[in-house]
Amino acid sequence: MKSDEWLLLERKVMFGECDSAGVIHFHNLLSFAHQSWEESLDKYGISYKDIFPSNNNKIERGLPIINCEANFLSPIELGCTLNIKVIPSKI
């Protein structure tokens, strides 16, 4: 695996994410961003316990999603494959 591969997620658009015309509902982009973030944690080996607080757990580091954007060059339709890139930065 290349050093930046864990930052990229390929995701197929599913039926339930689309309207009756087969185009995604725009709000699903936020869901895609969150799924990509979670998958990057798994691929990079970061435990959820290190990110999310619990009764017995003090957070060592925080990795919030602070920005999500998309450039629509054409409609995103059912069955399309999206390439979603997670870009971490220190804040």
Catalytic residues, by residue number, are 19
What the block records as the tokens of 65 is: 């999603």
Work out the number of other CB atoms within 10 angstroms of the CB of residue 63: 16
Backbone angles phi, psi at 66, to 5 degrees: -110, -10
Contacts of 69 (CB under 8 A, 6+ apart): none
Chain centroid to CA 47: 16
Strand partners, 83: 10
